[in-house]
Structure 1
């Protein structure tokens, strides 16, 4: 029986459209009327991440993937809902209270060129979190740990006094992963860590993450657009659309038998060498704006199976098997 590590229930996040400094200045000067519109990035997300598994979150740009990652890590405060690490609620903790969980939960960011401090050497980047979270270690023990970390991610220990600009993008992402591993976490959020890398380098970093998961029983929340990576790396897959999870299933089941119309459209776009007849599903209609939250199904405007109920009632996540669920009225009513 899988042990839940992260539990997310009813998570919502809205951003005010008046939060920019320019909008606030214009409002104060009387040059712009204040609007009450908000961007609804997350709309009731429910997820469980088990110990030792990789949950991949996929969906088009703007569906709320990165906001979900930042909310879990405490980098943005949710508007509503709860996030639990084991049995401890963590979404309401302040920075001081969250310090214990900073060691247990780490993040690898998308851009390896921006996620490392350009004024710090590799040694300084890795020694700072180690010294902070493990103050009992001596300088010699820290040096040995850094040498072991660098070797484990394929970076020479002789490069520890080098700065980020002296490394390639793949090497920087390896250093970012070493930094995340330096405090021996249980859970790592990886927000599109491969998107800025060449294909050959992507494979190296991905294999490195797989090896570290096997060694340390790590849990990953892995955010990506690359469905080929998902098929190779994920234990389970959550498909998001406009701030909601529309389908959640084990990887093999999702790729062999997708249920939700949006999931089917996503998977149909993957090039297959063994397929000569299947054509990509072309979605018709405009992508709805996150400023206006739909009353019914979030996919209603582009779904070929939508009926009146889809425009009026929000679909609930319904179990399709012991480990998969989907939110779709058409599936519930047997129309597809």
Structure 2
């Protein structure tokens, strides 16, 4: 049932979102021999662990972290490409993670996704015109063929793609051109929410700025809301309105972009930001993390960052920290910050 919605209500809301990928599915795979005894043990990769997150209308929410931290899994869960193991996903006031494929169809027009690899996101057997017209014809069945062509041509021009390219195939274009075409395909159905999963990481640095500027222009002109997945914090500083920092599928810190870059609070956030090159730093103060990275198969009992944190105590080993709101409005899940052992 749809909740009462106000203009200030978040467009996207994740509540206790979890995703586990089972490794041992059969009975024989689950039987282990330990300490001279046969035991049954089902292992799983804990990719996303109890994330609570909201995306407000018109903002660019960036999700950052190291490779394997669960960023792309969150994106695929929101897009409906994966099913959550636990938790809820609410979009525009309605729960969507329990919907079937047919019930999700009306949402496909509102919610679009731009993938990381522009070389695999377009069908090599379809011309660019066919690839762009297909979603328009599907979601706007009342439009005539001429109206579909006009709509596609308009969107192509808006992203810097010449409509005359429509007769060509994907292999005839560079990576940057393909990503522009992929963005055009997402925009042809007039979405309000775009999930961008590392959309520039496969592109040359010289092209990345062009694609980012294109996405920002589309955001302003069309009133888009972005869920932007990236590992590049220098991109986040210019693109994002708020930033969620993940570590081993757990939310460490959530803050608006300016606050995070001026005053990161979680030890992991500080380490990440210390690695961002700054022209003004004559003597960069890089934080070198020590210790072993826990495996997502055997998650630690307490804080997932404890093995690499210089501020870890016995409490960090036994108790998982909860995200607590700070005076500047940011959320930080860290016992050291809560106890005042780190200057927040």
The two structures have a TM-score, normalised by structure 1, of 0.95
RMSD: 1.6
Count the aligned residue pairs.
328
**C-alpha distance in structure 1 between counterparts of 2:280 and 2:210, whole Å:** 26
- What is aligned with 2:254? 248
1:290 corresponding residue in structure 2: 296
Structure 2 counterpart of 1:179? 185
Equivalent position SS for 1:283 = coil
The alpha carbon displacement at 1:322 in A equals 5.5
> Which ranges of structure 1 fall in alignment gaps of 5 or more residues?
none
Q: What are the residue-to-residue correspondences of 1:41-190 with 2, within 5 Å?
A: 41-190=47-196
Q: Secondary structure at the match of 2:306?
A: coil
Shift of 1:26: 8.7
Going from structure 1 to structure 2, the CA distance change for 1:8 and 1:200 (only over 3 Å counts) comes to same
- Distance, in Å, in 2 between the alignment partners of 1:274 and 1:2 is 38
How far did 1:95 drift? 0.6
The structure 2 residue matched to 1:17, chosen from 23, 37, 41, is 23
- 8 Å contact from structure 1 (residues 17, 35) kept in 2: no
**Structure 1 residue ranges (4+ consecutive) displaced by more than 3 angstroms after TM superposition:** 24-28
**Alpha carbons of 1:113 and 1:293: their partners in 2 closer, same or farther (altered >3 Å)?**
same
Q: 2:308 pairs with 302, 309, 312, which one? A: 302
Q: Deviations over 1:250-274 (max 9, x none)?
A: 0000000000000000000111121
What is the match of residue 235 of structure 1? 241
Listed as ranges, the gaps of 5+ residues in structure 2 are 1-6, 31-38
Q: Is the 8 A contact 1:112 1:173 kept in 2?
A: yes
Separation (CA, whole Å) in 1 of partners of 2:291 and 2:198: 27
Aligned to 2:320: 314
Q: CA deviation at 1:27?
A: 5.5
Distance 1:109 1:88 in 2: 25
Question: Matches of 1:312 and 1:265 in 2, distance apart?
Answer: 23
Match of 1:195 among 192, 201, 205: 201
In structure 2, the CA distance between the partners of 1:315 and 1:26, relative to structure 1 (3 Å rule), is closer
Deviations 1:216-238 (A, max 9, x none): 11000001111110000000000
| Whole-angstrom CA distance in 1 between matches of 2:88 and 2:48 | 13
